[in-house]
């Protein structure tokens, strides 16, 4: 249930279209719905402006399907992250309004997202190998109602590729920069713009990259101001944060 649905419920009670007992029955599942194996936060869309996102990894296919089934009647759009093809096929059995992004490993069920903000979020990936994480960030931001642009394979090994897109970079309201290896790209980008830059270290790299720790430390030690860092491979967290910032800095429509 979201804010608009609660307002309509109260208006229906006020107008007499719904009695108090009927309204109470619709509200009794707040603030969560207990499925036994999961307690779904049905109140989150009211608090945060977006429903609880389903983390599918390490859940069984049946658990993923049942969570989607429970949430779908109450929300226009549901997002499931770190999901495999098998989970997607299970959700398809309960709704045809569902898509799967194999690169981002994401299931999106419900209606097509509408752009709700004026500003643009630019997601930059240092290398093609970073794209699963950058696409996770981009898809998350899109599903939350943002206009998203992508810039791929512009890492510091060929930094001239980055400068060829300087107009796009400087026109964005929020930037998400995804990089593995030494993780230098977010600091370079942050030095070029006067907008928030969210850095995402990835686990891409050789032995002394320590599965993203080297990239993370580089980003944490950047001298470029205006740079924030999320956890290794956390494209979802970066996309979500970028959306919240964009709603403020870009302004809602």
Helix (H), strand (E) at residue 146: none
- Quick check: helix, strand or coil at residue 10? helix
| Residue at token pair 């709603």 | 247
Phi, psi of 151 (to 5 degrees): -135, 115
Over residues 230-244, the pLDDT tens digits come to: 999 999 999 999 999
Return the domain boundaries, the chain.
Answer: 1-30, 32-110, 120-249
Structure tokens at 82: 């770190």
User: For the chain, what is the mean pLDDT?
Assistant: 89
**pLDDT (0 to 100) of residue 44:** 78
- pLDDT band per the 50, 70, 90 thresholds, residue 252: low
User: Is the pLDDT assigned to residue 45 strictly greater than 80?
Assistant: no
Task: Give 120-249's CATH code, choosing from 3.50.50.60, 3.40.50.1970, 3.40.630.10, 3.40.1160.10.
Answer: 3.40.50.1970
Over residues 156-175, the pLDDT tens digits come to: 999 999 999 999 999 999 99
In sequence order, which ranges of 61-204 are alpha helices (DSSP H)?
61-71, 85-92, 131-143, 160-163, 166-171, 185-190
Task: Answer for the pair 132, 103: CB distance below 8 angstroms, yes or no.
Answer: yes
User: Is the pLDDT assigned to residue 221 strictly greater than 80?
Assistant: yes
- Can you list the positions of beta strands (E) in 32-144? 33-34, 39-40, 54-55, 77-81, 98-101, 106-110, 120-125
């Amino acid at each position: 249930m979201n804010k608009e649905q609660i307002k309509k419920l109260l208006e229906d009670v006020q107008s007499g279209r719904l009695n108090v007992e009927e309204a109470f029955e619709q509200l009794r599942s707040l603030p969560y719905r207990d499925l036994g194996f999961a307690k779904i936060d049905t109140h989150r869309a009211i608090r945060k402006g977006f429903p609880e996102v389903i983390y599918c990894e390490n859940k069984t296919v049946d658990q993923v399907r049942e969570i989607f089934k429970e949430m779908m009647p109450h929300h226009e759009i549901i997002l499931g992250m770190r999901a495999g093809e098998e989970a997607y096929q299970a959700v398809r059995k309960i709704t045809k309004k569902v898509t799967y992004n194999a690169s981002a490993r994401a299931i999106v069920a419900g209606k097509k997202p509408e752009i709700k903000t004026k500003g643009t979020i630019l997601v930059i990936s240092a290398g093609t190998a970073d794209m699963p994480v950058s696409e996770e960030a981009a898809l998350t931001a899109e599903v939350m109602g943002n206009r998203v642009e992508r810039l791929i394979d512009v890492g510091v090994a060929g930094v001239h590729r980055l400068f060829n897109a300087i107009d796009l970079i400087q026109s964005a309201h929020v930037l998400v920069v995804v990089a593995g290896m030494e993780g230098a790209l977010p600091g370079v980008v942050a030095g070029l713009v006067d907008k928030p830059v969210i850095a995402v270290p990835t686990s891409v790299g050789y032995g002394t990259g320590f599965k993203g720790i080297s990239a993370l430390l580089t980003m944490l030690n950047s001298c470029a101001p205006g740079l924030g860092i999320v956890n290794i491979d956390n494209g979802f967290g970066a996309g979500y944060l970028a959306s919240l910032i964009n709603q403020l800095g870009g302004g809602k429509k």
